[in-house]
Structure 1
Amino acid sequence: MSATADDADSTVIADRLGFEPDTVVQELGWDDDVDDGLREAVEKKTGHELVYDDYGNVVDAVLLWWRDGDEDLVDSLVDALTDLVEGGSIYLLTPKVGRPGYVDNTDIAEAAPVAGLATTTTQPACDDWSATKLVTPKSAPGSRR
């Protein structure tokens, strides 16, 4: 594939997931099996390198790589909220069906509300990974959180 096609693919991946220029994205759960093309696409679209758990400031979004067999999903989601700015999103990246570490969607659907999150969309992120976008639910007008 040519450099131009690679650039176009990177733009499509990051656009499809909803990343915007000049946003800070924290990466959690990195391991040797993550998709470097996806990581690079996010960096290119946002104009920033990914930051890690020791960043020490707020972030606009979190890429959380998570596989069946990793630590507790609810705990991982709560940890991902630590540096996330109000209104930010968590992109939970899980292996696709048939890949090692596959996570059933019902596990995500059960863990998200316990962590105080709502699922919005799940879509392919790259060849081996799916992305589920999680957000903090909006409060009803006049309610207190």
Structure 2
Amino acid sequence: MVAAADAQNFAEKLGITHGLVVQELGWDEDADDDLRADIEEVSGSEMVDENSDEVVDAVLLWWRDGDGDLADELMDVISPLSDDGFIWVLTPKTGQPGHVDPSEIAEAAPTAGLTQTSVISLGAWVGSRLVQPKAPSKQR
């Protein structure tokens, strides 16, 4: 089963490990169900939705052109995120319906107080990893 093995690699590429609490936002019919299933398999639990009040380790944000203001959405997404948590903004690849120009993510991230650390290919989707900058440690 090649597709499952590839998707499993996708979950690993996303940095998903057992025990992480993953929140999924922006799901729609076009979301990659194999990727979603493998994230749940690797993490060992179902992803939580926008109604959850849990602190989350990772956010999977499916984002398409026309979904609204990405910077505003990212500011909302940060609220439940743990200090060392990360966000993956998943957008359709170039040429796909709903494609988002990478510059939109590059501009929205710093507005929301986030830093983009990497971009990976995930089948028909592109994942952009965003993190909160580490605060300088306080010396006493």
Task: Give the equivalent residue in structure 1 for 2:53.
Answer: 56
Runs of 4+ in 1 over 4 A off after TM superposition: none
Distance 2:20 2:136 in 1: 27
Give TM-score scaled by structure 2 length: 0.93
**Would you say the 8 A contact 2:4–2:34 is kept in 1?**
no
Task: Give the equivalent residue in structure 2 for 1:47.
Answer: 44
Give CA deviations for 1:29-52 in whole Å, capped at 9, x if unaligned: 111111101101100110111110
Task: Give the equivalent residue in structure 2 for 1:97.
Answer: 94
Distance 1:140 1:57 in 2: 26
Letter in 1 for 2:75: V
**Would you say the 8 A contact 1:17–1:125 is kept in 2?**
no
Task: Give the equivalent residue in structure 2 for 1:138.
Answer: 134
Letter in 2 for 1:80: V
Give TM-score scaled by structure 1 length: 0.90
User: Are 1:73 and 2:70 matched, yes or no?
Assistant: yes
Deviation of 1:9 (Å):
2.4
Pairs aligned (count): 139
Distance 1:75 1:16 in 2: 26
Give ranges in structure 2 of 5+ residues lacking alignment: none
Match of 1:29 among 26, 29, 35: 26
Deviation of 1:82 (Å):
1.7
Give ranges in structure 1 of 5+ residues lacking alignment: none
User: Are 1:114 and 2:86 matched, yes or no?
Assistant: no
Letter in 1 for 2:78: L
Deviation of 1:65 (Å):
0.5
Identity across the alignment (%): 48
**Would you say the 8 A contact 2:8–2:35 is kept in 1?**
no
User: Once superposed, what is the RMSD of the aligned Cα atoms?
Assistant: 1.4
Distance 1:134 1:85 in 2: 13
